[in-house]
Amino acid sequence: MGHVIVTAFISLDGIVTDPDGSGGTPAGGWAFRHGPETVGGDKFRLGELMDSGVLLLGRNTWELFSRLWPNRTDDFSTRMNKMTKVVASHSLTDLSAFPNSTLLPQPLTEYVRSEQRTIAVTGSLSVIRALQEADLVDEYRLMTMPSIVGAGEKLFGPADKPLHLRLVSQVPAGAASLATYTRDTMAG
């Protein structure tokens, strides 16, 4: 099994839904209020993973990205368009709008366990929750925005058991900070 990385824009109060406002929620767009230097480019430091890994997306995030990235030609967008993308969806049939996209070839957890490349999951809260439930997330890269959103879905919900992570790095990113957490192999 490859390494599974979850990337997310997250508010100070743990909300991850509608950071760009595309969902039309009352508090939506909270991440993008902090300027392009905070949210633009390779803010999650995917780097070489964009060339050698897989981007795993749910239907809603794929649809959003398919309207956003294919029309851009900057270096990051070009790499995003070339990246292998696998979409977890039962309703999508035409993936031609976003280059290098294919449908999930088998059930989600089976696919993740069999994929040898590194998998990045962006947005797609239903996919993230399924991977969390199956204990398949190896790393979180969280861009914490200085916003209190108040309502919305949280990245971490009620859990059956505690999860202990290790802070690997924390760097400023415009008005936000990017923190990378991995499994804490020393904790029980």
Give yes or no for residue 188 having a pLDDT over 60: no
For all residues of the chain together, what is the average pLDDT? 89
- Residue 142 domain-assigned? yes
Query: Which pLDDT tens digit goes with each residue over 43-71?
Result: 888 888 888 999 999 999 999 999 988 98
Give yes or no for residue 36 having a pLDDT over 90: no
* H or E, element range at 65: helix 59-68
- Residue 8 domain-assigned? yes
- Distance separating alpha carbons of residues 121 and 13, to the nearest angstrom: 21
Domain range for 45: 4-18+26-183
- Residue 56 domain-assigned? yes
DSSP labels for 38-75?
A: HHSSSTT--TTHHHHSEEEEEHHHHHHHHHHSTT--SH
CATH number at residue 156: 3.40.430.10
- Residue 188 domain-assigned? no
Number of domains in the chain: 1
Give yes or no for residue 186 having a pLDDT over 70: no
- Residue 67 domain-assigned? yes
- Distance separating alpha carbons of residues 59 and 103, to the nearest angstrom: 10
Interior CA angle at 137 toward 149 and 67, to 5°? 60
State the DSSP code for 44.
Answer: T
